[in-house]
Amino acid sequence: MIFHKFNPNEESFTHSANYATEELKESYEESSYAWPEKGSRLRITKSSLGNFKWCPQQYYFSTVLRMPSDETEAMVRGTNVHNVVEYFWKRAEENLDEIVSLMDNDKHAVAKQLAESFMVSPDEGWRHDEAECLEVWFNWQWLRFLVCYTDKTPKLWLPVGNEYEAHATEEIEVDGQVVPVHYKGYIDRIFDDGEGGFIIMELKTGKWVNRPYKMTSMRFEMNFYRHLLMKSGQPDYLPVSQWAWEFPNGKVNNGDEAKWVIEDVSRIARYSDKSIVNTTKKLVKAHIDNEFPPIHSDSCKVNCGCIRRACGNCSFIHICPAFSVPEIQEVSQ
Tens-place pLDDT, residues 314-324:
888 888 888 76
Tens-place pLDDT, residues 290-307:
999 998 765 565 556 666
Domain boundaries of the chain, sorted by first residue: 19-70+160-287, 73-157, 296-332
Number of separate helices (H) and strands (E) present in the chain: 10, 7
Strand partners, 164: 187
Cβ atoms of 47 and 123 closer than 8 Å? no
Give the β-pairing of 177-192 and 41-45: parallel
Answer whether residue 272 shows pLDDT above 90.
Answer: no
Long-range contacts of 282-285 (CB under 8 A, 24+ apart): 282/52, 283/42, 283/44, 283/49, 283/52, 284/42, 284/172, 284/174, 284/179, 284/181, 285/174, 285/175
Cα–Cα dist 233/213, whole Å: 32
**Bond before 36 cis per omega within 30 degrees:** yes
What is the DSSP secondary-structure string of 11-42?
S-GGG----SSHHHHHHHHHEETTTTTSSSEE
Chain-wide mean pLDDT for the chain? 90
pTM to 2 decimal places: 0.91
Q: Provide CATH code, domain 19-70+160-287.
A: 3.90.320
Cα–Cα dist 265/147, whole Å: 22
Tens-place pLDDT, residues 156-191:
999 999 999 999 999 999 999 999 999 999 999 999
